Amino acid sequence: MTAPSQRALSRLTPVLTKRWLSPDAWRLDVYERLDGYTALRKALAAHPDDLIQLVKDSGLRGRGGAGFPTGLKWSFIPQDGKPHYLVVNADEGEPGTCKDLPLMMADPHSLVEGIIISAYAIRANNAFIYIRGEAVHAARRLRHAVNEAYAAGYLGKNILGSGFDLDLVVHSGAGAYICGEETALLDSLEGYRGQPRLKPPFPATHGLYGGPTVVNNVETICSIPYLVLGGAEWWRSMGTEKSPGPKIYSISGRVVNPGQYECSLGTTLRDLLELAGGMQPGHQLRFWTPGGSSTPLLTEEHLDLPLDFDSVAAAGSMLGTTAVQVFSDKDCPVYAAYRWIMFYAHESCGKCTPCREGNYWMVQVLRRILSGKGSHADLDLLLDACDNLLGRSFCALGDGATSCVTSSIKYFKQDYLDYIEGRKAPLLSPNEADLVGAH
């Protein structure tokens, strides 16, 4: 493996991931030895409003996909004496995304510490971690960490003598991608089917149990202790002006060393590929997602695009969850779109027609194309279905579903035509719902 260049190496910013190298950091005593809970002590000595201002000054933007400014979100919470809630979104399920689970697995106390500080800032006395059901390994570490934190006086009544009380519950989901959408998550947490709510009103005023609620991603909340310690200016020394800070990029697919690479926001795919040891021998980059399957595909021409919120949006995609899935000339973009649409069809909550019907029909059309029975009109049909979905669905799941279809047709129309015009052998047999991606 050739060594990465100095330029690529200089992008690395081990902050949130640094403790991962200490295999026992999940234990309270080890966490404390590695400066754990010092940020909490510092924060409890400050005024909650000053903490909200600090987060605003840092420019921290939500790491769950949408990039909403965190400090601004916190300042929307009305300070009117009603109970407030903090809900951590640990439902990680956007295809390609695999950063929150290793974070909670290796360093669960950093999430607990971030939660206590954040709850103190927004004046919440009840906090919940909604963790994806399948993530039993990370939930096990979290439940253990929460129990340790209670025993040590970091949770419960009068935390460290500050007069601040906080209860924290780890709540396992039960297998539904849509529950990562924040209002569906709240319904699920209240014991209902996870279906999105109409917005507005937003959770900041009408959230869990109808009360003011902040919903933040795991990585967002885990950033807080470092911000409290190092300050907003230090935080801004990483990343770009509008996307400051470090970010965990998750690289998967046809690279030599897939994995988690925490880098300055704005790192390019070219640098990420260097860090990941380059493409696997015999594979050439063909298409990739900048931030999960809901973000439009990009190609080789985007190798030097800075992966920050605004630059990626300007290139017609989205930064999403920085889940960089790398596909090569050995992979078929039509099959990728087909398989992702199957995912959206399965995960559609069924509440609104464009998404429930649109994804179902797109699966049928893509299957027809891949089994050699497609026609030119099918391409228009797909684009038409996307047109009826994008901006017309009840929640962002429906919008996200269109990304892989429209972007693959935009960049790889020839691949579709090759199936339709019989230049490429069918990948599926006409009546087969089988999965045939492996080669």
Partner 1 sequence: MMATHNVRGDEGNVREGEVRDEGRTTSGPPPLTDATREKAREIMARYPRGRERSALLPMLHLVQSEQGYITPEGIAFCAEMLGITKAQVAAVSTFYTMFKRRPTGDWLVSVCTNTMCGVLGGDKIYKTLSEYLGVGHDETTPDGKITLEHTECLAACDYAPVMTVNYEFFDRMDPDSALEVVQRLQNGERPTPTRGARLCTFREISRQLAGWADDREGAVGEGRAGEPTLAGNRLAERYGISVAGFDPSTPIRKAADAAEKGGSK
Ligand X SMILES: Cc1cc2nc3c(=O)[nH]c(=O)nc-3n(C[C@H](O)[C@H](O)[C@H](O)COP(=O)(O)O)c2cc1C
73 contact partners, CB below 8 Å, separation of at least 6: 62, 204, 214, 216
Q: Indicate the residue type of 371.
A: S
Kindly write down the DSSP assignment for every residue of 106-131, as one continuous string. Answer: H-HHHHHHHHHHHHHHHT-SEEEEEE
**With CB cut-offs between 5 and 8 Å by kind, which of partner 1, ligand X, ligand SF4, none does residue 68 bind?**
ligand X
Q: Going residue by residue from 343 to 382, which x/- string records binding to ligand SF4, judged by CB under 6 A?
A: -----xxxxx--xx--------------------------
Stretch that binds ligand X, among 45-53, 145-153, 174-182, 279-287 (CB under 6 A): 174-182
Residue 173 as a binder of ligand X (CB under 6 A): the answer is no
Strands (E) across 16-137 are located at: 85-90, 126-131
Q: Residue 334: CA atoms inside 13 Å, Cβ hemisphere, count?
A: 26
**With CB cut-offs between 5 and 8 Å by kind, which of ligand SF4, partner 1, ligand X, none does residue 223 bind?**
none
Distance of CA 232 to the CA centre of its chain: 23
Residue 398 as a binder of ligand SF4 (CB under 6 A): the answer is yes
Distance of CA 4 to the CA centre of its chain: 27
Of residues 61 through 80, those in contact with ligand SF4 by CB under 6 A are none
Q: Are residues 320 and 294 in contact, defined by beta-carbon separation less than 8 angstroms?
A: yes
Q: Going residue by residue from 319 to 338, which x/- string records binding to ligand SF4, judged by CB under 6 A?
A: --------------------
CB of 141 to partner 1, least distance (A): 6
Strands (E) across 91-212 are located at: 126-131, 167-172
Of residues 163 through 182, those in contact with ligand SF4 by CB under 6 A are 178
Residue 225 as a binder of ligand X (CB under 6 A): the answer is no
**With CB cut-offs between 5 and 8 Å by kind, which of ligand SF4, ligand X, partner 1, none does residue 220 bind?**
ligand X
**With CB cut-offs between 5 and 8 Å by kind, which of ligand SF4, partner 1, ligand X, none does residue 192 bind?**
partner 1
* Closest residue by Cα to residue 428 from 328, 339, 330: 339
The only residue of 17, 126, 188, 216 in contact with ligand X, by rule CB under 6 A: 216
Stretch that binds partner 1, among 68-76, 152-160, 197-205, 335-343 (CB under 8 A): 335-343
The only residue of 37, 43, 92, 296 in contact with ligand X, by rule CB under 6 A: 92
CB of 79 to ligand X, least distance (A): 20
Smaller CB separation from ligand X, 13 or 321: 321
**Sheet with strand 298-299: strands edge to edge:** 259-264, 246-253, 323-328, 285-289, 298-299
Of residues 373 through 412, those in contact with partner 1 by CB under 8 A are none
The encoded tokens of residue 136 equal 């039993």
Kindly write down the DSSP assignment for every residue of 349-369, as one continuous string. Answer: -SSSHHHHHHHHHHHHHHHHH
Residue 14 as a binder of partner 1 (CB under 8 A): the answer is yes
Stretch that binds ligand SF4, among 28-36, 297-305, 306-314, 393-401 (CB under 6 A): 393-401
Residue 36 as a binder of partner 1 (CB under 8 A): the answer is no
* Closest residue by Cα to residue 312 from 292, 282, 341: 292
Of residues 193 through 232, those in contact with partner 1 by CB under 8 A are 193-195, 209, 228-231
Stretch that binds ligand X, among 40-48, 57-65, 352-360, 361-369 (CB under 6 A): 57-65
Quote the radius of gyration of the chain (alpha carbons, Å).
22
CA gap 289, 411 in Å, rounded: 13
Q: Are residues 116 and 159 in contact, defined by beta-carbon separation less than 8 angstroms?
A: yes
Q: In which residue are the tokens 């994995």 written?
A: 259
Q: Are residues 266 and 306 in contact, defined by beta-carbon separation less than 8 angstroms?
A: yes
* Closest residue by Cα to residue 263 from 3, 1, 7, 2: 7
Residue 388 as a binder of ligand SF4 (CB under 6 A): the answer is no
CB of 245 to partner 1, least distance (A): 10
Q: Going residue by residue from 4 to 43, which x/- string records binding to ligand SF4, judged by CB under 6 A?
A: ----------------------------------------
Which residues make up the interface to ligand X (CB under 6 A)? Answer: 62-66, 68, 89, 91-94, 178, 180-182, 215-217, 220, 395-397
